[in-house]
A and B are shown apart, each in its own frame.
Chain A
Amino acid sequence: MIDDEIVRKAIQGDKCAFKILFNTYKLKVFRTSYLILKDKQNAEDALQETFLQVHLQIHKLTNTKAFDVWLYRITVNTCYSLIRKLKRFDVISMDEEIEHIIPSGEVNFYIPDDIVLKKEMQDLIIECIYSLPVKGRTALTLFYFNNLTIKEIAKIEACSENTIKSRLLYGKKIMKDRLMKDHREVVDYIYGGVICES
């Protein structure tokens, strides 16, 4: 987390403090945008637009301790805005699709560590994330990459915590199904099929 004083100075218009904010978060915002947009050039655009908005809006930020969440909210909104412009996805309809598909519940499973370390397995996980509807992908990104809590993600997405949980569960369910289906032979070969459920 960034030092509170630096955020406060940035709010007051301190150029140096803003530069520190930019340098501290530039890669994180860039990579977050990439995970949501699946495109490097668009992620660059999102990064620039996000920090432009930060520059324009930071004087409105009242809670300096909430800077992270506020920044990622701008990042996500910027990405959604770009997606709409690109007309790649209909954000709303994809969101509804998740909520209808996945009931509340738990999807926990364990994978042998040898397999997790295999590039093939990691690629498959990433492929699964990229195959998710944008809101599910965003939830997974914010939870696993930005280490935000479900409560914080719900605030960013302006929805209930249960909705976020559903999106995370949906993502994990997709992954589990893919691993069981596409990776079965690897699992069988090495350990006789031991993707464990709990």
Chain B
Amino acid sequence: MKKIKDFINNADIRKFRFWLQIFFFVLFVYGGYFAVNLGNKIPMFSCGFDREAGGMCYFLPLQHQLARPLDVLFSVASISVLIGFLTFLLWFIVFNKAWCGYACPLGTMQDWITGLRKRLGIRYSTYTQPQFNKLKKIKYIMLALVILAPVGVGLGLLGGEWRTAFCEICPGRMITPLFVGDVSQWSLDFSTKSAMVLTTLGLMVTGLFFVGSFIKKRFFCFFCPMSAMHYIFSDAALIKLKKDGDKCTKCGDCYNVCDMQIKDIADDVESTNILRDDCILCMKCVAACPEDDALHVDILNMKVFTSTKGGFSKRMEMDKLEEKDD
């Protein structure tokens, strides 16, 4: 048992994550080819506009369901909405935000773009703390759009093209289908004024997605409404990111490697549950923590991956001297 634990705690999490991401990418983007269908309540951006999706983002059906006329929405017929929501919750509760860090195709794509940037030898940029604090609110506005726009359609306040307003501006709609050779989403919809505005916005956001994630690690995740939605229910999840503040020296190693620039991970020594709304549960912080058991990932209060001095040195390649070639 101790051997297994040591093996996990010393593991090179980057490699593990890289391959797992590829696996999930194939599963969710190309799943259709293998007759995989995990339903349409998946708590991440596995886009439903991809014909071959092996499982579909929950937001597309959610928006459609919410766009029903109000009297239908609050009738027995909407039990299906409730069941849909519970299914979503079940999926989410198992993996918590690890959906973002390990499975989300849009997240994986951003990591690939980051990899490309690294290859080119270009350094990433970061937000300053005040910028961070302002920008992080955007994802809640997005979440409001996901919920309120279809409700507005149901109430008859908005035109039908607002039904899936968020999807229109989500970069996943344009990018994900490309992987199965579908370029049909790359067009502007001139049918109505607001459709035109929305699709134009979508095109711009897609452009931003590419440029942004080239410059900034996990650029889009910062604005993702799914991430906001996760956070509301994350306390109920089985996997948890925990911190033992007594053991933390606030050295900031975890903050340094955090793609999402979450400062609490280093500075908060009071909370035991250290998962924040921006977190993608990639576990890089745990891997970069040099204190024994200061940060750990728990499943049902059992430590499955925990920070260790030995693991840190191994991953940073500080556990042995480099052979000099001269």
The answer to whether A and B interact is no
Residue numbers of A with Cβ under 8 A of B are none
